[in-house]
Every structure is written in C-alpha cells, then in structure tokens.
Amino acid sequence: MPDSILSSSAALAEGLHEEMARDETICIVGEDLVAHAGIFGQFKGLPESFPGRIIDTPISESAIIGLGLGSALTGLRPVVDLHFSDFVTCCMDELVNQTAKIRYMLGGQVKIPMVIWCPDGAGIRAAAQHSQSLEAWFVHTPGLKVVVPSEPADVKGLIKTAIRDDDPVMFFQHKKLFAKEGPVPAGDVTIPLGQAAVKRPGRDVTLICYGSGYYLCEEAAGKLEGLKIGAEVVDLRTLKPLDMHTVAGSIRKTNRAVIVHEACLTGGFGAELAARIQEQLFDDLKAPVKRVAAKDVPVPFSPSLEDYVLPQVSDVVEAVRSIVNR
C-alpha cells in the first residue's frame, strides 16, 4: 500500500489503533482521553473503537504511573499519558524508584511492558512550567528506555515497537510537531529501538539530532549547501539504547560533529554524546565537537524571549562554520 500523508498526531493514533486491534492487553490511561481525545487530538477515534480500554483518570500523576505499573505487572500493556512531560516531576518516585527498577530487583521474573507517553518541548508559548525537554533525566536512569521521534513515520514506527517492548519506555513527542505532516507507511511497519537514521547525506560535517532538533538541522543543512558545505543529518530517534555505530560511521566520513537539541545546554544529552564521541572517535575528529542547545534559563512566556532562549537555525549554521573554517 502507498504511504499516507499524516500529521504526527494522526500517525500516533494510527499506530495505537493498529496495536490495540492486534493485542487486547493494550490499554491507554490518563487525563481527558475519552472526553477530549487527548489535548493534541492524538487519541482521536480510539475510545469509540476500543470501549473500556481507554481510561480517564483523576489528576494525579503518581496514581497514573502507579496504575500503569500495576497493570503491567499483572499482564497488561499500558500506554500511560502524562499530558505534559513537565508533570513527570509529580511522579518521579513511581517512575525512577519503582517502574525502572522492579524488573531488575525481582531478577527478571516479571516484565514491565509499559509506555510512558510524554509531550515535551517549547515553542508554543506555554511558559516555564509547560515547555521543558527533560529526556536527559531518564537516559540517566538505568531500567528505562528513551525514545524521541521527529517525523510522523518515526512516531508511528516507534510507538508500535515501544508498546511491544517488555521494558518501560519513555516516549517523548514534541508538542510543536503534532501538526507536522509527512509520509507514513501503511500497515505493520516498526522501527527497532536503538536504530538511528541518516536522513541527509553530507561530506563535511555531521549534524546529530533528535525530536525538534531534526527540523533545525534539515533547514540548516539546506542553508549550508548554499555555502558549499555538505552537512550529513543523523536523526538518533532513540537515545537509550543509543546507535553509536551509525554516529561513528558518519563522523569517520565527515570528521566533524555538531550536536543539536532543544534541551538546555548544561547536563543535556548532548554532553553525554559529546563525551562518547571524544572517547571513541578522537583520532577521527578535525575539530572539537560543538553543541547547539537552549540557554540555561527557564523558558520565558514572552514570544521574543522564548525564541531568544531556544536554539535557532542560525545557531546551527554558525556552529558548523566555526569548525569547518578552522
């Protein structure tokens, strides 16, 4: 069947619909799912198609994660909706002390097939408490897998894989990308966790990105082409497990790397990735690894200040020029 042109929101709904039709143990729990089909319309049509398996909960993130963990332990495959990733702060004990550790502490006698779905990111003028990118916290937590898709096809392919995984998966989907459209394969097409994608070939520098950073890198690569600089774009798609094989292959070709993410610079995932590149690929580098990220301040509500704080295409272009022209 030919690809369909879908938004990221519709791609998520299609992937969930296919998985729920395939496996009756899958359920979705969270706030406003039945009444409003989710705050981004991402669950549209699911309550009608699967009555009783889409469950509205009270406004208590601790209870929602606890419900998800308990149902996973007893044989279901829950998808838990946290509404905004920022609210994960309300259930950190349930996530990092319970969900992430129980399978290990019980010697693998149980499985935790649970997806924690976290809309994240800034750019929608939602201010400091609804605009964060917190993925690095969970990469740092053993026992959790971390997925950050960019294009609609990745959203569908990765949500299907995450649901089928027997470990808890944090699934970060950028709020500003729900309306982004792109081709999505029809049918049962999955994307393995830990498999990055080279989405644009290049010869002079590797742009390593995920989530919203992918679109910054694609636009920057187009501008760099006008400057006779060939930028290769590597979309990580999953941060844990991490596909260092694809990253290394690209850097050994281009000999330069710029890491781009929307999370703030200090302690962001780019720091971990830059360290690994330095440890494993030092002799392949012609210039230091550069990072492009948000400034280390809470995300402002003012549109002009928010744009100033967040990384822009011009920041990516300038970072590349600074290492190509050394």
Catalytic positions: 130
Q: Establish whether the linkage from the previous residue to 241 is cis, with ω within 30° of 0.
A: yes
- Residue 108 makes CB contacts below 8 A (sequence gap 6+) with none
Among the listed residues 288, 294, 304, 291, the one whose alpha carbon sits nearest the alpha carbon of residue 256: 288
Give CA–CA dist 164/139, Å, rounded: 20
Give CA–CA dist 288/277, Å, rounded: 10
161 vs 12, 62, 189, 193, 251, CA distance in Å? Answer: 12, 25, 9, 7, 28
Residues 316 and 260: beta-carbon distance below 8 Å: yes
Helix (H) / strand (E) containing 279: helix 269-281
- Secondary-structure breakdown of the chain: helix, strand, coil percentages, each rounded to the nearest 5: 45, 20, 35
- What is the CB-side half-sphere exposure of residue 229 using CA atoms within 13 A? 22
Across 85-147, the runs of DSSP E, i.e. the strands, are 115-120, 145-147
